[in-house]
Amino acid sequence: MESSSSKYLLILLAIFYLINSSSASRNVPSKITASTEFIKTSCSSTTYPTLCYKSLARHASLIQTSPKLLAHASLNVTLAKAKSTSAVMLKMSKSPGMKPREADAMQDCLEELSDSVDELRKSIGEMGLIKASNFELTMNDIQTWVSAALTDDTTCSDGFEKNTVNGKVVRGQIVKIAHMTSNALALINSYASLHA
């Protein structure tokens, strides 16, 4: 009696084990798991870790566990966000309900944002050209450009009045770009420090 119930228990455990292990390997390939863990750990040393992880986790299969690809991907997602925000702002600045002062602020901000987009583009271009022989010089350029992009984002968002609806909406988006840029800079700096 006792031995047959313990046999049942063993069979049940074996079945549980098989179901769990097969569903785990089906849903989450271990390479992706390693990558998302790597992204989470790397993001934890940035100023905005949650935003960092949220914006990068879906690129885990591309990033794998490479600090260089992580820095590259963080520039990519920041550029994409800056470009899409610019497009929306351009539309907003042309809408008939826009007050002249708001339209001016929007115009100034768009110029800053366009500088920021150029700096991110240049950085992404250089990221693809890094070699052992030019590492320090290239990283220096990238760090300079991404810092400049961060300054441009901040100047842009500071131009908006907080007490208007459009001002609040646009500021929120620009602040998000600034935070993503700050995170990209942190990931670039930690990649650079690996070679120091």
Footprint of ligand NAG on this chain (CB under 6 A)?
Answer: 59, 62, 69, 72-73, 76
How far is residue 23 from each of residues 14, 27, 33, 195, measured CA to CA in Å? 14, 6, 14, 40
| Least CB distance to ligand NAG at residue 59 (A) | 5
Closest-CA residue to 32 (of 54, 56, 55, 65): 65
Q: Judged by CB, which is closer to ligand NAG: 35, or 157?
A: 35
Are the CB atoms for 86 and 117 separated by under 8 Å? yes
Query: Residue type at 144?
Result: T
Q: Judged by CB, which is closer to ligand NAG: 121, or 147?
A: 121
Q: Judged by CB, which is closer to ligand NAG: 78, or 182?
A: 78
| Least CB distance to ligand NAG at residue 121 (A) | 10
How far is residue 110 from each of residues 94, 113, 154, 180, 190, measured CA to CA in Å? 12, 5, 12, 18, 30
Q: Judged by CB, which is closer to ligand NAG: 74, or 157?
A: 74
| Least CB distance to ligand NAG at residue 61 (A) | 10
| Least CB distance to ligand NAG at residue 130 (A) | 13
| Least CB distance to ligand NAG at residue 159 (A) | 30
Q: Judged by CB, which is closer to ligand NAG: 109, or 186?
A: 186
Angle, vertex CA 73, rays to CA 67 and CA 79, nearest 5: 140
| Least CB distance to ligand NAG at residue 27 (A) | 23
Report residue 112 as tokens: 């800053």
Question: Residues 74, 35, 63, 138: is their CA dihedral positive or negative?
Answer: positive
Q: Judged by CB, which is closer to ligand NAG: 160, or 191?
A: 191
Query: How big is the chain, counted in residues?
Result: 196
